[in-house]
Structure 1
Amino acid sequence: MKKLLILPLILLLGILLVACSQGDESGKKKEGAEKASEETLKVDKGLLNVEVTIPATLYKGQDIDSIISEAKNSGIKEVIKNDDGSLTYKMSKSEHKKMMKELKERIVKSVEELKTSEDFASINDVAYNKSFSEFTLTVNKEKFEGSFDALASFGLALAGMYYQLFNGADVEHYKVTVYIKDESNGEVFDTMVYPDELNENNDK
């Protein structure tokens, strides 16, 4: 299994555990709560704390109790397992801000590593937008279609979805689109939209 597939979740949990183990700090004035649906996300920003709820679909197949235990042992203020299977993390505003900064830096670093990775030889370049809701992979089409390099899109999409969720995206923006572009002529010959791709695979 290529390492990029497990990178986003490890990256996310690592940032959570590091950022939230620094202790509480004073926050700024109340910014209000971000709107969200029950099955997508909820980021509530209070006077001092931020609550982030991640949907159950992104924890599918994982040991939720172990995730909660490890998070608490690492210093996260509180982790709540909701009735719908989602998890709510509570942290200070300063911790949330730091977490978002580190998450962005690590996604960018992962993209740069992907460009030169021997594991994904057909991929020559990766571009992305500011919110990580779109990624464009420029590839050698012949090599790409004869390999498993499309798996890289899953790793990028998962990282992008987590970034949006923790940044307070609402249901209308909870999507990541990955474009596959032929380096020889600039043509986009494949497009994948997440989490739609995940839902389709689960239905098969």
Structure 2
Amino acid sequence: MKHKIWFYVSMSLCIITIIVVIGTGIWVYIDDQRFSAHQEVTVLTYASSAKSNPAEGKVDEESTGNGGEDSEDQDISAEKGLFSVEITLPASFFEGRSQDEIMASANEDGIKDVTVNSDGSVTYKMSKSKHKEMLSEYKKSIDDMIAGMLDGPDEVASFTDIKYNDNMSEFNVYVDKSKYNEMESMSVLAFYTSGLFYHTLNGTDSSDLEVVVNFIDKDTDEVFQSGSSKDLGE
């Protein structure tokens, strides 16, 4: 059973990658900024590489914002200081946007300290309260997505409830097994990417990055199917 779900998940990742390559815009919202499915694939790539090289994903402070050579690095990082948080997003997040547009958008969101680095990545420095607000807004976008899956345009017939823990490392999907089919397991791919993205923005160490999704029988509370982001791509 577990092998089957990862077969479908792997197929989904391939489809998403193809969509990205041909430039199809599939958008999700985070902190009032638009990010394409390419960014979610970037998060998965980041998490996968971090398993074999925990050092990846950390910002090289000597190479950001100092006129160095362009980099193909696609890492996302968050560094927490005593009073502030720095978040660096890769250049791929800002394709088609000018530096002025990036700065203006950040200022509108109350982020005044913005650096467009030589490799095209952008570093935001914000207060801890602003960082907390950003994470809260991101969780709200996940809640909206879940609402759509339970009773909305993206409704999955067998899903009766979806819950996640405080740090978004575990999602529990309650299902009516009489209506469930394994193809519906593909619907939860966004939970892996969303959870990993949340962890990364929250400064979680790369070696600790993991999101688990459980499928639970609503009548018996039995976990009958489960998967981990660490298994993606294996």
Among 84, 91, 105, the residue aligned to 1:74: 105
What is the rounded CA distance, in whole Å, between the counterparts of 1:9 and 1:37 in structure 2?
A: 30
Q: Is 1:10 aligned to 2:28, yes or no?
A: yes
Q: How do 1:23-172 and structure 2 match up within 5 A?
A: 37-39=55-57, 42-46=77-81, 49-53=84-88, 65-66=95-96, 71-75=102-106, 77-80=114-117, 87-93=121-127, 94-117=129-152, 119-145=155-181, 148-172=183-207
What is the rounded CA distance, in whole Å, between the counterparts of 1:144 and 1:164 in structure 2?
A: 30
Distance 1:114 1:72, change over 3 A: same
Contact 2:31 2:134 in 1 (8 A): no
Distance 1:16 1:10, change over 3 A: closer
- Alpha-carbon distance, 1:140 to partner: 2.1
Q: Percent identity?
A: 25
TM-score (norm. length: structure 1): 0.64
SS in structure 2 at match of 1:66: coil
- Alpha-carbon distance, 1:138 to partner: 0.9
Structure 1 unaligned blocks of 5 or more: 18-35
Please say which of residues 167-176 and 104-113 is displaced more in the overlay. 104-113
Contact 1:41 1:52 in 2 (8 A): yes
Please say which of residues 44-53 and 126-135 is displaced more in the overlay. 44-53
What is the rounded CA distance, in whole Å, between the counterparts of 1:195 and 1:9 in structure 2?
A: 24
Structure 2 unaligned blocks of 5 or more: 1-11, 17-25, 36-53, 58-74, 108-113
- Alpha-carbon distance, 1:41 to partner: 5.2
Q: Residue 225 of structure 2 corresponds to which residue in structure 1?
A: 190
- Alpha-carbon distance, 1:122 to partner: 1.0
TM-score (norm. length: structure 2): 0.57
Distance 1:193 1:169, change over 3 A: same
- Alpha-carbon distance, 1:10 to partner: 1.6
Q: Which amino acid aligns with 2:55?
A: S
Distance 1:183 1:51, change over 3 A: same
Contact 1:41 1:168 in 2 (8 A): no
What is the rounded CA distance, in whole Å, between the counterparts of 2:211 and 2:158 in structure 1?
A: 21
SS in structure 2 at match of 1:156: helix
CA RMSD in angstroms, aligned pairs only: 3.6
Contact 2:160 2:175 in 1 (8 A): yes
Contact 2:31 2:138 in 1 (8 A): no
Q: How many residues end up aligned between the 2 structures?
A: 167
Contact 1:44 1:50 in 2 (8 A): yes
Q: Which amino acid aligns with 1:193?
A: S
Contact 2:31 2:137 in 1 (8 A): no
Q: Which amino acid aligns with 2:221?
A: G
